[in-house]
Amino acid sequence: MKKITVVLVALLSTAYMNAQTDQGNFLIEANTGFGGLASHPASTSFRLVSVDGETDFSVGAEAGYFIADDLAIKVGLGYADADETFTFKGGVKYYLFSNIPLQIDIAGASGQGNQNPLWLGGQGGYAIFINDNVSIEPGFRYNYSLNQDFADVGVLEFNVGFVIFI
């Protein structure tokens, strides 16, 4: 019973730590991606993949500005070395109850030959606040291809995000 009480107090205390998601604040976010494509064509996540002795990586970050309490407009940039792809992302992120991040965005990539993939993405998770300005946000993301001729119609991923609020 004591453990359950401690867990409930910890969860409820994070629900009231919302000063960082107030209007006028900024966020900087970096994600790690698991599952889905080893090198997602339009990812701004950090990935390191080794297949048959070949190591590929991708890096990226996202930034946002809170236009209202709990609602941020976000942009992101990334790079994947496997095919020298530059990626971009733009969307909105809403913190339901100030600790359940929900995001919808459009992501794309250049350098994919003549395909130029474009994705509609959505994600949800839970924000675990380490302190007033830092959170860890595990969650799931689904990317739906907006290109009819692109091979992968949808990709489901598990991400762990690290967010700094300014």
Give the list of residues 6+ apart from residue 148 with CB closer than 8 angstroms, or none: none
The CA distance from 11 to 125, in Å, is 14
pLDDT digits (tens, 9 = 90+) for 25-59: 999 999 887 655 444 556 777 777 777 777 777 88
Q: Phi and psi dihedrals of 53, rounded to 5?
A: 80, -10
Q: Is 103 in contact with 93 (CB distance < 8 Å)?
A: yes
Burial class (CB in 10 A: 0-12, 13-18, 19+), 78: buried
- pLDDT for res 15: 47
Angle at 96 between CA 95 and CA 98, to 5 degrees: 60
The CA distance from 37 to 73, in Å, is 26
The CA distance from 128 to 136, in Å, is 5
Give the list of residues 6+ apart from residue 116 with CB closer than 8 angstroms, or none: 108, 109, 110, 147
Per the prediction, the chain carries an average pLDDT of 82
Domains and CATH numbers, the chain: 2-165 (2.40.160.20)
Residue 142, strand partner residues:
122, 156
pTM: 0.80
- pLDDT for res 17: 52
Residue 114, pLDDT above cutoff 70: no
